[in-house]
């Protein structure tokens, strides 16, 4: 897709400004205005070369305002003479009606804001509720007691990828593959994002492979870099991120992991373990299967010092990366 030229952008801006001036002119008058007065009041109309050019421009603008749902009225300027029409916008029809919400709708709004509390979009969600509160709209918390949804977007790459998807901007990033753990640089035209099985993914066109691909945000390492101009490609009109992720994300075969788990800890690991044996005092040797090293490393890291990984090496490295990142983020020596 060819980026818009500077002249086309300038023309669009001029048109927007002209329409806005026309709306202001017609909105703040109690009496209908003649075309001659409108031409004098709106600067862009006064710059037209001839009356015929103004008439054509004004007719197009009237149609566009009506297409936008703005109630532009045509009324006679004089009750006794209707040979020349006048124009105005009725403020009562133009103003938004008072917005009200039923109790169940308020409950849904509350749930939505609470779902994003610990995510990167928590700020906009809270701001939306503050606006409702300022308008004397109180949400119903009583009907949603005990329901605590959470949408977590802890992946450092989330915000950068989200902005790239919204702006259709190519990006570049380092990516660690699931199988070998190999780190490579990828170039992507992002199409969409979705959460699938508790993980965030980005879909798009991999320009290195010349094919559509799916990447898990948790495997992106380091910064996500802009690698082109915004709106420089098109997203397939029938693209559905969840469908693409479901189709292309194939689970790997179950692999065995050997863990040392402190006695009294790691109960969720023990419940699905294939084998549990006593180890040195205070520890158990636990064998448990996994399919995704990165996902399993997230779970293991959550147990802190109560769970240690003995093998495989891929899983050991994944857990070490998480603890190293935490130490570095706190300003310590990794």
Q: Where are the domains of the chain?
A: 6-94, 103-144, 170-248, 255-329
Determine the angle formed by the axes of helices 122-134 and 103-115, rounding to 10 degrees: 150
Determine the angle formed by the axes of helices 6-27 and 51-67, rounding to 10 degrees: 80
Share of the chain above pLDDT 70, in %: 72
Q: According to the CATH classification, is domain 255-329 in 3.30.200?
A: no
Q: What is the pLDDT of residues 25-80, one digit of tens each?
A: 888 777 888 888 888 888 888 887 788 888 889 999 988 888 888 888 888 877 66
DSSP state of 278: E
> Dihedral angle at the C-alpha atoms of 112, 117, 123, 126, nearest 10 degrees?
50
Peptide bond preceding 312: is omega within 30 degrees of 0, i.e. cis? yes
Q: For domain 6-94, give its CATH number from 2.60.40, 1.10.3470, 3.40.50, 1.10.10.
A: 1.10.10
- In terms of pTM, does the model score above 0.75? no
Gap between the Cα atoms of 7 and 44, Å rounded: 17
Share of the chain above pLDDT 90, in %: 20
């Amino acid at each position: 897709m060819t980026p818009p030229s500077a002249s086309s952008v300038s023309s669009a801006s001029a048109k927007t400004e002209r329409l806005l001036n026309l709306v202001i002119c017609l909105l703040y008058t109690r009496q209908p205005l003649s075309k001659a007065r409108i031409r004098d009041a709106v600067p862009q109309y006064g710059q037209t070369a001839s009356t015929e050019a103004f008439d054509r421009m004004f007719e197009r603008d009237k149609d566009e305002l009506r297409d936008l749902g703005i109630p532009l009225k045509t009324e006679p300027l004089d009750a006794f003479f209707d040979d020349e029409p006048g124009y105005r916008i009725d403020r009562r029809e133009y103003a938004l009606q008072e917005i009200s919400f039923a109790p169940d709708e308020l409950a849904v709004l509350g749930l939505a804001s609470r779902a994003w509390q610990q995510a990167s979009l928590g700020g906009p969600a809270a701001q939306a509720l503050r606006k409702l509160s300022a308008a004397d709209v109180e949400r119903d918390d009583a009907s949603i007691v005990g329901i605590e949804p959470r949408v977590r977007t802890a992946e450092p790459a989330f915000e950068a990828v989200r902005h790239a998807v919204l702006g259709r901007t190519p990006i570049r990033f380092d990516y660690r593959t699931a199988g070998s753990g190999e780190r490579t640089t990828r170039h992507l035209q992002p199409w969409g994002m979705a959460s699938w099985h508790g993980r965030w993914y980005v879909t798009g066109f991999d320009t290195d492979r010349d094919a559509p691909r799916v990447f898990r945000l948790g495997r992106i390492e380091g910064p996500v870099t802009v690698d082109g101009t915004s709106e420089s490609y098109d997203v397939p009109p029938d693209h559905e991120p969840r469908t693409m992720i479901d189709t292309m994300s194939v689970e790997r075969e179950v692999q065995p992991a050997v863990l040392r788990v402190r006695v009294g800890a790691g109960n969720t690991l023990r419940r699905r373990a294939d084998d549990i044996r006593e180890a040195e005092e205070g520890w158990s040797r636990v064998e448990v299967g996994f399919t995704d090293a990165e996902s399993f490393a997230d779970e293991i890291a959550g147990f802190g010092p109560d769970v240690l990984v003995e093998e495989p090496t891929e899983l050991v490295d994944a857990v070490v990366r998480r603890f190293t990142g935490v130490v570095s983020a706190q300003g310590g020596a990794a």
